[in-house]
Amino acid sequence: MKHPNFQLSTEITRALNMGAPIVALESTVITHGLPHPQNLELARDMEKQVRAMDAIPATVALLDGKVRLGLSDEELIRLSESESPLKVSHRDFATAIVKKADGGTTVAGTMLASFLSGIKVFATGGIGGIHKESAFDISTDLKALAETPMVVVCAGAKAILDLPATLEYMETMGIPVIGYQTNEFPAFYSRESGLNVSARLDTPKEIAEFAKHHWNLGLRSAVLVTNPVPETDSIPMSEMEPVIAKASAEAIEKGIHGQALTPFLLSRISELTKGKSLKANLALLLNNARLAGEIANELYVRKKEWAL
């Protein structure tokens, strides 16, 4: 391994050597996104779901200042119970390393660590984007998507964000936004947003083909796959809008901004919906792990044809 502060599990090292399908999983959802004990259950279930698709899960996190890929169950427990873990995006890695800290990696952080390790597919819940509360609060996730050639499976972005602005940014940066079996950009809890994706693809095989052609052109951006929340757990946009507006107003009133804003909004929304949004959140995460596992298998089959 080129990076002295990286530590890959034996299973992940072996899988990389064999070129086996691997799905990276983020950990800010564990440390900052979900309450305990749902965060631990979710972390375990995500790994199970990836394995059920015959792929290998690589949960990415910082433990004692080491960038870890592939955690044991004891380590997942430790992360889920961590008192004050860092939220690790691009600019926070060196902080965590110097301070020998524990931390959950964001979408941007997970993309960096997994790409540097040779992983091509990543499943998350929702990406960060451009916040409504401040025009300059633009998530590093968007920068990472612009410059990291990976397939990222998500359920779109939450309506806590300025969705049209987030989509405009991705268009400018040349990030393909694929709708999986949909023409509409999903809004996390809701299947609908009234906004369009850049292309619709209907099978994991087509998505793998798309990624191959995109990268063969020398383009270095991610391929963002948006997978709508399953129908049974979805919440209509009209029901979410007032809740989001309330949480957003509270954030402005309390002066919450920067790294703390997304976790604050997520937990307030969960409280305001009495757990309904949490249920949707868990369902869409597992749905994304499943699709990412399928795509990883398709990419594995096509490995020899890749330009990367």
Binding segment for ligand PSU (CB under 6 A), chosen from 36-44, 123-131, 249-257, 284-292, is 123-131
Pairing mode, strands 103-105 and 56-63: antiparallel
In the complex, what is the shortest distance from the CB of residue 144 to ligand PSU, in angstroms, rounded to a whole number?
Answer: 9
Residue 266 binds what, of Mn ion, ligand PSU, none (CB under 5 to 8 Å, by partner type)?
A: ligand PSU
At residue 8, the 3 state secondary structure works out as strand
Minimum distance from CB of 85 to ligand PSU (Å)? Answer: 12
Is there binding between residue 209 and Mn ion (CB under 5 A)? no
- From the list ligand PSU, Mn ion, none, pick the one residue 149 interacts with, judged by a Cβ distance below 5 to 8 Å according to partner type: none
Residue 139: count other Cβ atoms within 10 Å of its Cβ. Answer: 23
133 binds Mn ion (CB under 5 A): no
Cα radius of gyration (the chain)? 18
Residues 211, 266, 291, 295: which binds ligand PSU (CB under 6 A)? 266
Site track 78-117 with ligand PSU (rule: CB under 6 A), x = hit: -----------x----------------xx----------
218 CB-near residues (< 8 Å, 6+ apart): 307
Q: Is the peptide bond before 37 cis (omega within 30 degrees of 0)?
A: yes
Q: Under the criterion CB under 6 A, does residue 26 sit at the interface with ligand PSU?
A: yes
Q: How many CB atoms lie within 10 A of CB 247?
A: 19
User: Does residue 75 contact residue 56 with C-beta atoms inside 8 Å?
Assistant: no
Nearby residues of 249 by Cβ (< 8 Å), 6 or more positions away: none
Residue 150: both structure tokens together = 């990976």
* Residue of 21, 57, 125, 204 interacting with ligand PSU (CB under 6 A): 125
Single residue of 11, 137, 239, 271 touching Mn ion by CB under 5 A: 137
* Known catalytic membership, residue 132: no
Catalytic residue, from 158, 184, 294, 298: name it.
158
The smaller minimum CB distance to Mn ion, of residues 11 and 137, is found at 137
According to CB under 6 A, which residues from 129 to 148 bind ligand PSU? 139-141
Exposure of 53 in the CB half-sphere (CA atoms within 13 A): 28
Q: How far is the CB of 52 from ligand PSU (least distance, A)?
A: 23
Burial class (CB in 10 A: 0-12, 13-18, 19+), 136: exposed
Work out what residue 293 binds among Mn ion, ligand PSU, none; the CB cut-off runs from 5 to 8 Å by kind: none
* Interaction between residue 29 and ligand PSU (CB under 6 A): yes
**125 binding partner (options ligand PSU, Mn ion, none; Cβ < 5 to 8 Å by kind):** ligand PSU
Distance CA 283, CA 306 (A): 32
Determine whether 205 is an active site residue: no
228 interacts with ligand PSU by CB under 6 A: no
Residues 157-196, interacting with ligand PSU (CB under 6 A): 158, 188
- Closest Cα partner for 85 from 12, 32, 164? 32
**Contact partners, residue 75, CB within 8 Å, separation at least 6:** 61, 63, 68
Coil, strand, or helix at residue 105? strand
Q: Which residues are catalytic?
A: 26, 158
Contact footprint for Mn ion (CB under 5 A): 137
Contact footprint for ligand PSU (CB under 6 A): 26, 28-29, 33, 89, 106-107, 125-126, 128, 139-141, 158, 188, 259, 262, 266
